[in-house]
Amino acid sequence: MAVGLRHFTARAGNGSEEPILDTDNGEELVHVQPSVSVAVGDRAPESPGTLYITTRQVIWLSELDREKGYAVYFLSLSLHAVSRDPEAYPSPCIYTQIETEADEVEDESKDSDSECSEVLDLSKIREMRFIPSDANQLDTLFQVFCECAELNPEPIEEGEEEGHNWIFSADQLEDEAGAGDDVEWHFSQNPTNTIGHSNGHHDLASSVLELQINDQRFEDAEEMEQDSDTGHHHQSQQ
């Protein structure tokens, strides 16, 4: 799934203004809020449109310009909040922060949003506000955002080779060492992604379990030199 804010223009035809969703993969429309203006980054609010909240993303489609629309997946929404403080923003709105590609790769050279550029680079947008014409709708909108955000926890990726490549023994490097400079980090068993990964559903106990079972480094050195059918584990049974 694409990270960050995106342009969205796929509208159903036949006069229907609704966005085309990924229904094959179970995406459903949860809430529709007409007369919502949107303010992208530091830019002024754009002309009113309709907010469509689905089980996967938030889509805003302009009422005036049928070619204009924005969308962001809940996976990319770091936080959302009800903003009513006029010092923070003149209009009551739903404030959202968007995780960008730059955030993901911990890019230190973060550019600020450019208001002057003709072509808006949505991928760098970090904040977005949804301003309903009826401020009484804010609490409902906030609730819907919460419910749908909860439907989108971090996906568990089994056997993923990118990113969390832990080396458990020097043997792994020796086995696979190819060209000198490009040492490819990888591992032979299923990664235990606990460290550095998000909080929540990773079972620390099973991670530790895997380390113990698969890694012979934890065996006593003396035991390994012995030529035996019965290793350390079996001695207590004798």
Binding site for another protein (CB under 8 A): 77-85, 87-89, 95, 97, 99, 103, 127, 139, 142, 145-146, 149-150, 153-154, 198-201, 204-205, 208-209, 212
Would you say 15 or 200 has its CB closer to another protein?
Answer: 200
Least distance between another protein and beta carbon 205 (Å): 6
How far apart (Å, rounded) are the C-alpha atoms in residues 67 and 63?
A: 10
For tokens 């401020």, name the residue: 135
Q: 139 or 161: whose CB is closer to another protein?
A: 139
Q: Which residues contact 142 (CB under 8 A, 6 or more apart)?
A: 80, 81, 82, 94
Q: Closest separation between CB of residue 139 and another protein, Å?
A: 8
- Smallest gap from residue 183 Cβ to another protein (A): 27
β-bridge partners, 37: 131
Nearer to another protein, 212 or 237 (CB): 212
Specify burial of residue 145 (Cβ count, 10 A radius: 0-12, 13-18, 19+): buried
Q: Which residues of 204-235 are buried (b: 16+ CB within 10 A; e: fewer)?
A: eeeeeeeeeeeeeeeeeeeeeeeeeeeeeeee
Distance of CA 29 to the CA centre of its chain: 20
CB 235 → another protein: shortest distance, Å?
17
Given the complex with another protein, which of 42 and 184 has the nearer CB atom?
42
Please report how close the Cβ of residue 75 comes to another protein at its closest, in angstroms: 8
Per the CB < 8 A criterion, the answer to whether 88 and 73 are in contact is: no
CB of 56 to another protein, least distance (A): 14
Nearer to another protein by C-beta: 142 or 168? 142
Q: Which is nearer to another protein, 61 or 128 (CB)?
A: 128
Q: Which residue, 61 or 148, has its beta carbon nearer to another protein?
A: 148
Closest CB 31 distance from another protein, rounded Å: 15
Q: How far apart are CA 193 and CA 123, in angstroms?
A: 27
- Locate 6 and state its tokens: 């995106």
Dihedral (CA of 203, 160, 58, 111) sign: positive
> Can you list the positions of beta strands (E) in the chain?
6-7, 29-40, 49-54, 57-62, 69-73, 77-83, 93-98, 127-132
